[in-house]
Every structure is written in C-alpha cells, then in structure tokens.
Amino acid sequence: MRIAIANHSVPFIFGGAEVLENGLKQKLEEYGHQVVNIRIPVLIHPPHKIIENLLTCRFLQLENIDRFIALKFPVYCIPHANKVVWLLHQYREMYDLWDTPYCGMPKTPHGLNAREAVVQADQTYLPEAKAIFTISKRVTGRLQKYNQIDSQVLYPPLDNADQYQTEACGDYIFYPSRINHIKRQWLAVESMRYVKTGVKLMIAGKPDVPSEGERLHAAIAKYGLSSKVRLLTQWISWEEKLKLFAQALGVLFIPLDEDYGYVTLEAAYAQKALITCRDSGGPLEFVESGKTGWVTDPDPRQLAEALDRLYLDKAKSAHMGAGGKERLLAMNIGWDTVVGRLLA
Amino acid sequence: MKIILATQIGSAQELYHAAGELQIAGALQRSGHQVEWVRLPFSNNSPEILEQILAYQLLDLSAYGDRLIALRAPAYFIQHPHKVVWFGEFLPEFYRAWNTPYQTGTITPALRRIRELLLNQDKKKLGAAHAVFATSRNAAAKLKQCHGINARVVYPAYPMEGGIPDGICGDYFLFYAPLEKLNRPLLAVESMRWVASPVKLVFCSPSPDPGLREQMEKMIRQYGLESKIKFLSPDCPEKEAGEIMAQCFGVLHIPFDENSVKAAWLAGRFKKMLLTCSDSGAPLEWLEPGQTGLAVKPVPEDIAKSLDRIYREQAAGKHMGERALAGQLRRKHDWNEVVERLLA
C-alpha cells in the first residue's frame, strides 16, 4: 500500500508526536508498505494564521496514495477518499484549555473567529474520515464531549520497550519530559519544599523555550532546594535515560490533562511506581493508585506525601513498579494491533 | 543556522530525488545546521492548480528558521523572508509541453487563463526569492526565458560509488523513463520499425497514462514488433532493476526538452552509453557526443541507425559507457558543495 502520514508540528521542536510519527512510518515500512510523510508547520499568531493554516490543508490535493493517516488538526482537513484519523489531540486551546491560563489565544474578535473556524472544521472534516482513532480515552472523551464525534481508542506502543531495565531503587524520583508550563515541572519543584524524608527529584528535559528552564532554576535556588532537586536541561543520551529510569525510586509525571504520555509506559517497562495527579489525563488510564503508583490532587503537599511514601518503603515501591509492568503487558499494546486497525 | 527544507511529495515519487533530499539534509547537519522538513502534497494532474498553489502561498513560515530552501516546486510559494530556491521543473503541462504535440490536454480559454495567472504568480514568487538556483543549464535557461530570472546552476550531487556491476551485455536498449508524451515512447516504438539488426528494446517504466500505453501496444501489433519490444514491470526489486540496467547495450532516453541531467548520470553510473536526441535538453549537458553516447535528431530512422550502430559495434558502445563513468567520477561534485553554494 502507498501510505501518507500527516503531522502538524512546530519546526525545530521534537516531542512525543514526532516520536510517534517516525515510529509509525518505520513500522509501516517494516510491514512492507511505501510511506511518505507530510509535515505542515503550526501557525498560531496572529489568530487569522490558524484559518490560513486550515485553508492550506483544505486546498491541498493528495494523489497516488491508498491510505492517508492524519494525526492532528488541521492536517485531517486534507481531502482524501481513504482518510483515517489517528488523533493525538485536538486543538486543545480552542476547547478544554480555552478558559485556562494555558490558552494563548486572545479573547478578541479575531481569537473568537479562529476558535469558531477550528470547531467548524472539526465538525465538518473529521466525519469525512473512514475511521477515527485516538491515542487515549482522554482524547476520545474530549472529542465526544466537545464535538459529539465517536472514536475508538488505539494506544501507541512504546518504541524499544524491551530495552528498559530495572535496577535497585535509588533515592530519586525521575521526571523526564519536555519542560513547559503545562507539564508542571514547577509543581514538582514546589512539592519538594514539603518532603520530610531524604527523597530527591531529578527533572530531565529540554525546555521548549529557554525561559522555562531558567524559571525552574530560579525556583530551585529561591527555595534552597539545590541539594534535593537536580535539573538536567541538556540533551541526554538514550543510554543515560535508560540508566536514570533503571535506578530511580519512582517516576513522577504530573502534566495537566496529558493526552497520553509515553512517560507512563516508560515507567512501567522500567518497573517503577508512578506518581501522577487526578487531573493529569492519560496516565490515569494506566495507574492504579495504591497498587502500581499513587494518584494525588495537584497539590504540593499531597505530592510530597506520595514522594515520601515511596522513599519510606522501597520494597513496596519496587513491588508497585513490577505490578505496573504486569498491568501494561496485559493491555496488549503493540504495532500489530495498530497497523492492522489503521489499514483495515 | 536553523534551516527549513521545503518540498512537495507529488505523484512523481522518484526514488533518486527522495534520496537526494535526504542527502541535502545530511550535508546540512554535518555542517552544523539544524534542519526541519516541511513536506506538502501536490497533484500535477489536478485541474485545481491555482487552489493548490494558494495552499502553499498561505503558509507563512516567517516565524521559523533563518533560511528556507525550497526544493521541489511549488515549495517556493511558501512565505519566508530568507528563501533560497533550487529550481528543477514546475508543471511541464503548462511550460515545456504547452502548445506542443506533447501536451496531454487541449488548450481551452479557461486553461489559457489558468496558465496566465500561474506564470504571473510564478514569476512574482521566484523574483521575490533571496536567491534562485537551477538544477541544470536547461532549467536556468527556461527561468531566464519565461521569467527573466537569472539563476546559477547547481547540479544535484548524484551518488557515484557503488551499484556499478560489471557490464554483461544483453541484446537490448533500455527505456526507463515514465511512459508519458513528453518522454516520447511512441518515437521509440516507431524507431524499432527501422532497425536492421536484431537489437531489441525493453521498457521498464511506470505507465501513468493508460491511453498512451494502449497506443504503444497498438502500434507494436500494427508493425509486428512483438518480438523486438518487451515491457517489464518498473516495480521489480532494486537488485533486479540493477540487473536490467547492467545488461543493456545502452540507455535510450529521448524526452522533449527535459530539465534533469539524471538520465546521463544514471547511464554513466552503470557504465552505459546514452542515446538521446538533439532536442532532449539537460541530458545533453553531461553528454560528450561520440565519446559517452550519441545525440541524434528526433527522427525514427536516425534513432534506428544509432541503435543498429551500437548493436554492431558493441566494443565502441562499451567504451562510451566506461568513459561516461570515468567522466563522472572526475567531476567530484558532492552534497557538501551543493549545500555550500545554496547557502552562500
């Protein structure tokens, strides 16, 4: 089959969506298909650029392709008779994030117009697809809530899952993720002010913009947490990352309403207990509080308590980690399923 | 520098081109640049040409990257303040095939109007670029002639090493170009009527134009050329394609006014002589007539004479192929040089 995968991305930023895009291409090729990537950059400011971005997609024509797999808004607006959507997320600032501090869209007539255009496009063009899959119940739920559109959950597998190992639990909780406001590394630092044990925090990730990293460094200094919190903003190698997972006491992953979150799967394959928040979205589909990790309110004191708990009973923490892997394996997430369903 | 490589993934997914694009990205990265791809679809065959161009034009990437290198047209319609164009060819139906016997469609007033708007827009966009380069002298000459634009020539750095099997000669000439009017496959069939020797012709080409293919087959039956002409699937595995190439006398490549030097390169790489026409365009730029191949008038009798000559004087044909390869190896043009010139 000749397949086109379309992604909508911010140039020079590499995150989970790009990992998924590359992984999907590689797997489809391994299954004997010819694959091309369509990559259209995200345009947001000023708001009318969103509408232009949408029009770009609608005016494009895709020929000589047997199956078109679209991952995001607005690339699913590209017309094609054999379109399948595997939705990573909607344009969330126009939906669930609209009335939150995480929405960068101005509440001006232009901003409202852009929002209207996005909603209209979703209502009109998503139903053109032969099938709509999403990467989590979270995304499916939002699509149902805001657009009354049905979809099926198709979890993305983690690449090189077999390379994750576990070693004896160390003293630190690992939080690997791109550093930005919505991933709430700031909340993680805040929590460390309230821990009562010797538990440490290791944050690793590339800041989306340098100021996000600087702000975290400043907070660590301000609260005098430099002996308890380490912040790695430089690029770390694959081997280093595996080691940081293997030797961690547990994994912390507390974004606001994450769509999916590979970190959850990484923690499970490394057999580490996961601490997440009630409003973190995707991770909640995997973690059982008290059994494979802890789910708390997004409150620094509650988080600190959970961190201390992992430190105080390392044997139990290790046991929780093992349970997380068992649970994940039982969910049967793999490329055979993904490829089979996307190409059905 | 942060560099955006913008291109289209159209219907002509020629492997060498895709591979070439990856080479550019690699060369840029080796020179310490950050590279990001922007890839959009495009359909040459759609009547909605202006709509598709508008889609490119609406994409304003001013906010991203220090430089945008526009590869396959119409990528240069994307907006960017520091745009470098490396022009190969755009919409042959509206340019080199226009008003020639090689045009597929008929000229209607509406089509004439579309062409006017297209040429006008094309000229504006190319004229606004920071710099314009062309992939051949023929391409540069056309930019000058159609749009009054001066473009410097930067040839693609085709790979020269590897994949050069020893020439075990079969008894055929190879025609590998897609079976489209502009490549004049009917002229090739017609030529076979006039050959006096037992030389054969093998087509190993995609057939995007079913009508033309039928016409060819009808002509073959009419002239009783079934034993002299053979069709092979162009989708055969790479190894087999290599063998088909390795075992021919030479490459028959007789397009009308082509912009790409690829045919000359490909023949040379396989140590084969190239038989082309005096009006074939860019392939002549890399051909030394009588030394590495032959260029004859686009007349069946003349082509037939040359086919016969190479059949009879096999040693001479072989030498031409060897000289073609030797000449290319001396050229020492690599991707680093391409990148250096495009960014100068």
pLDDT average, residue stretch B45-53: 93
pLDDT average, residue stretch A10-25: 89
B103 close to A (CB below 8 A): no
Considering the domain B2-154, what is its CATH architecture? 3-Layer(aba) Sandwich (3.40)
Tens-place pLDDT, residues A206-232: 998 899 999 999 999 999 999 999 999
- Among all residues of chain B, which has the CA nearest to that of A57? B55
Tell me what pLDDT residue B21 has: 77
B41 close to A (CB below 8 A): yes
Question: Chains A and B: how many Cβ contacts under 8 Å?
Answer: 85
Tens-place pLDDT, residues B155-200: 988 877 655 666 567 789 999 999 999 999 999 999 999 999 999 9
Tell me what pLDDT residue B166 has: 63
Closest CA to B277 of B301, B259, B250, B303: B303
Q: Amino acid letter at A40?
A: I
The answer to whether the Cβ–Cβ distance between A41 and B40 falls below 8 Å is: no
* DSSP string covering A136-163: SHHHHHHHHHHH----EE-PPPPTTGGG
pLDDT average, residue stretch A47-58: 95
- Give the mean pLDDT of chain B: 91
Tell me what pLDDT residue A159 has: 87
Tens-place pLDDT, residues B196-212: 999 999 999 988 889 99
List of chain B residues whose C-beta atoms are within 8 Å of the C-beta of residue A34: 13
Tell me what pLDDT residue B159 has: 78
Provide the b/e sequence for B14-46 (b: ≥16 CB within 10 Å): eeebeebbebbbebbeeeebebbbbbbbbbbee
Residue B244 has pLDDT above 80, yes or no: yes
* A12-41 residues touching B, CB cutoff 8 A: 12, 34, 36-41
Q: Amino acid letter at A185?
A: Q
Distance between CA atoms of A333 and B5, rounded to whole angstroms?
35
Using DSSP's 3-state secondary structure scheme, residue B28 falls into helix
- Among all residues of chain B, which has the CA nearest to that of A52? B58
Q: Where are the domains of chain B?
A: 2-154, 172-330
Closest CA to B42 of B104, B101, B96, B89: B89
* A136-165 residues touching B, CB cutoff 8 A: none
Residue B8 has pLDDT above 80, yes or no: yes
Rounded to the nearest angstrom, the minimum Cα separation between B3 and chain A is 9
Provide the b/e sequence for A2-34 (b: ≥16 CB within 10 Å): ebbbbbbbbbeeebbbeebbebbbebbeeeebe
pLDDT average, residue stretch A136-142: 95
List of long-range contacts for A294-302, beta carbons under 8 Å, 24+ apart: A298/A184, A298/A187, A298/A254, A298/A256, A300/A187, A300/A190, A300/A191, A300/A193, A300/A194, A301/A191, A301/A194
Residue B33 has pLDDT above 90, yes or no: yes
List of long-range contacts for A215-219, beta carbons under 8 Å, 24+ apart: A215/A186, A216/A179, A216/A185, A216/A186, A216/A189, A219/A186, A219/A189, A219/A190
With a pLDDT cut of 70, the percent of chain B lying above it is 94
Tens-place pLDDT, residues B129-149: 999 999 999 999 999 999 999
Which residue from B11, B38, B63 is facing A39, i.e. has the nearest CB?
B38
Tell me what pLDDT residue A228 has: 97
The answer to whether the Cβ–Cβ distance between B52 and A62 falls below 8 Å is: no
Q: Where are the domains of chain A?
A: 2-154, 161-330
Distance between CA atoms of A23 and A161, rounded to whole angstroms?
12
Distance between CA atoms of A102 and A114, rounded to whole angstroms?
17
Find out whether A166 and A270 touch, Cβ atoms under 8 Å. yes
Rounded to the nearest angstrom, the minimum Cα separation between B198 and chain A is 38
Tens-place pLDDT, residues A190-211: 999 999 999 999 999 999 889 9
List of chain B residues whose C-beta atoms are within 8 Å of the C-beta of residue A11: 2, 4, 36, 38, 61, 64-65
List of chain A residues whose C-beta atoms are within 8 Å of the C-beta of residue B64: 11-12, 41
Distance between CA atoms of B270 and B328, rounded to whole angstroms?
11
Residue B11 has pLDDT above 70, yes or no: no
Tokens of B103: 């045009």
**Domain B2-154 identical in fold to domain B172-330:** yes
Helix axes B109-128, B49-57, angle to 10 degrees: 20
CATH topology of domain B172-330: Rossmann fold (3.40.50)
List of chain B residues whose C-beta atoms are within 8 Å of the C-beta of residue A58: 55
Find out whether A276 and A320 touch, Cβ atoms under 8 Å. no
Tokens of B43: 């359909």
For testing contact with chain A, the best of B14, B39, B44, B56 (most A CBs within 10 A): B39
Tell me what pLDDT residue B115 has: 96
The total number of residues shown for chain B amounts to 344
List of chain A residues whose C-beta atoms are within 8 Å of the C-beta of residue B1: none
A62 close to B (CB below 8 A): yes
- Would you place residue B15 in the very low, low, confident or very high pLDDT band (cuts 50, 70, 90)? very low
The answer to whether the Cβ–Cβ distance between A60 and B55 falls below 8 Å is: yes
- Give the mean pLDDT of chain A: 95
Tens-place pLDDT, residues A252-309: 999 999 999 999 999 999 999 999 999 999 999 999 999 999 999 999 999 999 999 9
- Among all residues of chain B, which has the CA nearest to that of A14? B36
Q: Which residues contact A156 (CB under 8 A, 6 or more apart)?
A: A20, A23, A24, A135, A260, A262, A333, A338
CATH of domain A2-154: 3.40.50.2000
CATH topology of domain A161-330: Rossmann fold (3.40.50)
Tell me what pLDDT residue B161 has: 65
The answer to whether the Cβ–Cβ distance between B9 and A60 falls below 8 Å is: no
- Among all residues of chain B, which has the CA nearest to that of A56? B55
pLDDT average, residue stretch A85-110: 93
Q: Which residues contact B248 (CB under 8 A, 6 or more apart)?
A: B169, B170, B172, B173, B174, B202, B272
- Would you place residue B329 in the very low, low, confident or very high pLDDT band (cuts 50, 70, 90)? confident
Tens-place pLDDT, residues B75-111: 999 999 999 999 999 999 999 999 999 998 899 999 9
Tell me what pLDDT residue A311 has: 97
